[in-house]
Amino acid sequence: MLPGPHRLRSRHDFNHIYKEGKSWHGPYFVTWLLPRATLEPGLPLSTASFLVTRIGLVVGKKVSKLAIRRNWVKRRMRQACWELLKEIEPGWDVILVARRAVLDLQANQYLPELEQLLAQAGILHGH
């Protein structure tokens, strides 16, 4: 489970990130990123690094019509994000959207796939 301050919950925040953020696409996931300072009025971009990174997970009905499968995918995504949290640069809002192909992944393949996508986006330390 992601710690409370690291969870992205607000519909307003999701919509703002979709509208203003940048996306990276992989075979199993799509990620949307936006520096947090753009959501906090009056904060300069340089202060974004002091804000915690928040992560939102999306597993839509296109992945599976069964809620049990969507929740299963979301639990594995959440576990991989929890393991990656210490490597992600602070000050970002991240939305991870699962694609239908994610159902083909084994549980131990979520972490490397998400790590590769976030490294591509340039928000991991040392990547």
What is the 3-state composition of the chain as percent helix, strand, coil, each rounded to the nearest 5? 50, 20, 30
- The answer to whether residue 115 is domain-embedded is yes
Domain that holds residue 88: 4-121
Residue with tokens 């969507």: 70
* 126 in any annotated domain: no
Give how many domains the chain has, as a whole number.
Answer: 1
Q: Is residue 41 part of a domain?
A: yes
Amino acid symbol at 83: E
Q: Is residue 127 part of a domain?
A: no
Token representation of residue 43:
């904060």
CATH of the domain at 99: 3.30.230.10
pLDDT band at 29 (very low <50, low <70, confident <90, very high): very high
pTM: 0.87
- Please report the pLDDT score of residue 49 as a whole number: 52
Instruction: Assess if residue 13 is contained within a domain.
Output: yes
Mean pLDDT, rounded, for 42-59: 76
Give domain status of residue 12, yes or no. yes
pLDDT(47) > 60 = no
